[in-house]
């Protein structure tokens, strides 16, 4: 297999890896915020459920969560799902996992805000929702942005775990080509892809963080 053919074949896997990355971010970032906000409420039962969920997601490997989501419907309920369920299973596992991590990051930012911020907003006539959305949340995002960036970089690399349920993303394609052609070149290409992808993520994050310096 020529180098150009190899790149073309791996290109389809790259697009699938990017798809996992983008969909996970799009869904887990807002879900994590919702979970963090709900956890701040004085609702003991719901708060306890959220704590258990976060503990499970952070305390077990993402690969294990992928296997449970993919094989669970059949082993537990004897439901046979189509091959298209692989991508859905990947999204469910990734979104639930990363939403738990993002929720804790959001929570740390929210709890770090001085009580005076809330009191001042009340004096100015802001409602609770207005206070959170217009005053608290922008400052929270600025404070937690480096931690969010670290998780996003980890997500880029974690997309390779989709191979565990035979979802043909880039790492899976690289393994297949390497086994067939008995060459390390596909792994080198995959490594370059992950590095460049993470470099772009870090570069974009740094640019956004500089744009947010007006909160200083």
pLDDT score of 214: 58
Q: Report how far residue 48's alpha carbon sits from residue 69's, in angstroms, rounded to the nearest whole number.
A: 23
pLDDT exceeds 70 at position 72: yes
Q: What does pTM read for this prediction? A: 0.90
Q: Which helix (H) or strand (E) holds 104?
A: helix 85-111
* 164 close to 66: Cβ distance less than 8 angstroms: yes
Mean pLDDT of all residues belonging to the chain = 89
pLDDT score of 19: 94
- The helix, strand and coil proportions of the chain, stated in percent and rounded to the nearest 5, come to 85, 0, 15
Q: Count of CB atoms within 10 A of residue 116's CB?
A: 8
pLDDT exceeds 80 at position 170: yes
pLDDT score of 33: 94
pLDDT score of 216: 55
pLDDT score of 80: 81
What tens digit of pLDDT does each residue of 4-31 get?
888 888 888 899 999 999 999 999 999 9
What tens digit of pLDDT does each residue of 88-125 get?
999 999 999 999 999 999 999 988 888 888 888 888 88
Q: Which CATH number is 3-215 given?
A: 1.10.3720.10
pLDDT exceeds 90 at position 58: yes
């Amino acid at each position: 297999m020529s180098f150009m053919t190899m790149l073309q074949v791996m290109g389809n896997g790259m697009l699938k890896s990017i798809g996992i990355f983008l969909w996970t971010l799009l869904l887990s970032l807002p879900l994590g915020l919702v979970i963090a906000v709900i956890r701040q409420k004085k609702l003991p039962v719901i708060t306890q459920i959220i704590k258990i969920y976060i503990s499970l997601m952070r305390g077990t490997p993402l690969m294990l969560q992928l296997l449970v989501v993919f094989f669970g419907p059949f082993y537990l309920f004897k439901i046979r799902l189509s091959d298209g369920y692989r991508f859905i299973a990947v999204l469910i596992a990734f979104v639930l996992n990363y939403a738990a991590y993002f929720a804790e990051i959001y929570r740390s930012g929210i709890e770090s805000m001085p009580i005076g911020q809330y009191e001042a907003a009340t004096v100015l006539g802001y409602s609770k929702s207005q206070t959170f959305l217009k005053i608290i949340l922008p400052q929270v995002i600025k404070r937690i942005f480096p931690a969010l960036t670290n998780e996003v970089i980890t997500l880029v690399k974690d997309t390779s775990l989709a191979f565990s349920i035979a979802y043909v993303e880039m790492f899976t394609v690289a393994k297949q080509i390497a086994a067939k052609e008995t060459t390390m070149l596909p792994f080198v290409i995959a490594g370059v892809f992950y590095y460049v992808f993470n470099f772009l993520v870090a570069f974009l994050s740094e640019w956004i963080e500089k744009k947010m310096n007006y909160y200083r």
